[in-house]
Amino acid sequence: MRLGALRRPDVGRISLQDQLETISEAAEAGRGLSSEEINVLEMVLERRSGDPWDLFTAASAAGLALRGGAGGDGRLLDGLRAIAASATRDDSNESGRISYDEIRVVAVQAIGSGAKDASSAALMFRIAERDPSALVRMPALVAVGDLGLEHPHLRLDCARLLLKAIEFIESTQGPDPELYDAACEGAFNLLNVPLQDRPPLLRMCTPEDFRSSHRQRLRSLAR
């Protein structure tokens, strides 16, 4: 789910988008953002309307800034939380238009797997368990594992959620392979399983990949 590779169609470009792309490039390069640049990102994130490409670029740039330690005293994190928590709104399926769920995916990844923000754990749990969009639940499941590995006091709840998700998906008729893959990735991250002991990157995880030893370790953490 590397949505950061998406690019706005090269039509109707506006000055705000040019500014956002410049900010995004600076954040990706690891340069600390100025207060004015953070203000621009905050404004777009709080507005949550207008051109979806502006919001997508702002969310991506905010995630990069958070990863680099430039969060604007929590302002960018607050804006990303608001996007991640938003109920899915009417999306356009027009060619070249990004969906609001794809923007929410970026926000969830930035909060949980990028910043690994412990204060957002309850939000990640809620999205992973109950969000109406499977597309958004997937990065939340991965983020739950990242949060549990990073913050020992969250490990019990993270392990319980991931074990419940894996077993529930396994029990359903025609389980969603992408959702199962995300739940397994979250569990592998929580258990700190080396990459060589995981399924190949280009293949989704199956119940056979999630071996009994992994399941036993996850159950031990969930007790």
Q: Do 40 and 15 contact (CB within 8 A), yes or no?
A: no
Percent of the chain with pLDDT over 90: 61
Mean pLDDT of 143-152: 97
User: What is residue 49's three-state secondary structure?
Assistant: coil
Burial of 84 (0-12, 13-18, 19+ CB in 10 A): buried
Q: Contact at 8 Å (CB) between 42 and 66? A: no
Angle between helices 35-47 and 75-85 (to 10 degrees): 20
Confidence tier at 11 by pLDDT (50, 70, 90): very low
Q: What is the pLDDT of residue 126?
A: 97
- Which ranges of the chain would DSSP assign to H, the alpha helix? 15-28, 35-47, 52-67, 75-85, 100-108, 121-130, 134-150, 155-171, 177-191, 212-222
8 Å CB contact between 205 and 181 = yes
The residue among 70, 89, 63 whose CA lies nearest residue 31 is 70
pLDDT band at 2 (very low <50, low <70, confident <90, very high): very low
Residue 9 has pLDDT above 60, yes or no: no
Is the pLDDT higher at 87 or at 98?
98
The model's pTM is 0.86
Mean pLDDT across the stretch 85-89?
A: 73
List CB contacts of 25: < 8 A, sequence separation 6 or more.
none
> 2-16 b/e with 16+ CB inside 10 Å = b?
ebbeeebeeeeeeeb
Q: What is the mean pLDDT of the chain?
A: 87
What letter represents residue 190's amino acid? L
